[in-house]
Structure 1
Amino acid sequence: MESLKNKVAIFTTVANFELYEKTSNLFPVGIQSYVIDGRNGMHALHSIFYMFKKLKKEEIDWLIMADEDVIFKNPQAVFGLIEFMKENNYSVSGVRDGGVIKHRNNNPYVINTFFSILNFKKISKLFNKSEIIRNQYINKGEFEEDLSELVYGFDKENLYEPYYCFYFWLRRKGEKILFLNSKMIEDENEQISNEVFDANGTTLLIHTWYARSYGKNEKHTARIDEVLKQISFASNPRKPIIFKDTFFFIKMQVSKTVKKIKMKLS
């Protein structure tokens, strides 16, 4: 297990460092943490591309992606999940973005990026940005799977998130996704968060959502703090390696302006 830890890292695109300082105490112990400073708007597909760019020279076999509103309950269980993925040739694991979470009725053939595990070493060798971008489409009936146990709504042809192309690309490359089970936490004070389980059915984490609202919105701050109160943990402060694309916001504004000009000219 120790040899595995040396090749595992955890990565977070952080929009709310106040929340990250609390939840990162619960991250798996003994692995390096990496952060992209997302306060300039970097997230989703841009974050994925930037992640591969910045980490390509690191000796990482497996990469855990976890948002700052993810609260681990059994953090060390990720290593057992990685072993399961290795044994069964899975390149990605995560929770479907449709049919599993009450307020996410999108595409069930891809995951939501709030939490996932990537076979980073393998995917890095395949990585091709221009190829990935061209995969933001889905053919009817292309990924037929048994979805009969999904309890919430979904749309098989949905392209809601721009990052779907990354997972469509992987699937078209023949890479396997392990879809993790999840259930909503539903009591009188909490009907937003979802609990995620590993391959053996053990609770792994709770995703509270609305990280950007923490410390700004009273309802969501109290709700997330209540989840944190239910988990006992010792202080395990992180010393993450932080990356930031200083000119990202400017580049996005320029890109939007160019697109508007092209639309007017056409």
Structure 2
Amino acid sequence: MRSDEKRPGGAGRGPHEARFAREQRQFAAHLRNPLVNEPPADIEDRRMAIYRDLIYNNIESFIASGFPVLRSIYTDDAWHTMVREFVHRHASRSPYFLQISEEFLQYLQEEHVAQESDPPFLLELAHYEWVELALDVNPAEPLPGLELEGDVLAQVPVVSPVAWSLSYRFPVHMIGPTFQPSEPPDNPTFLLVYRNREDEVGFMEINAVTARLLQLAQAGNQTGRALLEDLAVEMNHGDTGAVVNFGQSLLQQLLQAGVIAGLEPRR
């Protein structure tokens, strides 16, 4: 290789390119944590302040709008400290603003150091609030060719790909500034979050039996009657007919809500 040829990997970079790269890193580090990292020396602070405020305020505003309940139960100081730590420490995998909420949730789950200001339900509440945006922008669509009316017992109920059955230790759907439990109740909370046929996100509190019914339905290719009969066996219920009769009404309700995307013949 000739002495004037550039080496692979940028080893042949000139002094101006190397300096520019250093300044870029210093510039970015300062924006991520201005209290720790000095700005580039040749940029006046008035101009740096514009970038500092623009970067932080945009990220903070998006997170606050994505987690409104979480924001409401933190003091200003505690909230901004947590968001600044996120900006400083978390290496986001996506450049898209719509995925900032997911990145923030991931930060809370994997990197956040617990503080006295953190409620015991922090991770569960954050996940619950994230789900609404995640379902709203989820590109999944119901399978074509499903019937929206019919016999829910004789046909196969197909659960919508944008219907998520969730369980939490805390009643996250009830938490707010005036209700912040310090201990989880004895029984878990089961919630169904779904996007209906009008592309609106809805929430429904369910019980463990309904959650299990949806889990069985997601396994696929069982008629509504077969699903309910299997459920009766699992529950060790003495009256299978009663379970089927009650379950028929429940399946019909879920079909109307869009949780069940539609019906198809058994294959």
Structure (1 or 2) with the greater helix fraction? 2
With CA pairs under 8 Å and 6+ residues apart, which has the higher RCO, 1 or 2? 1
Q: In terms of Rg, which structure is larger? A: 2
The TM tier, using the shorter chain, reads under 0.3
Structure (1 or 2) with the greater strand fraction? 1
TM-score with structure 2 length normalisation? 0.23
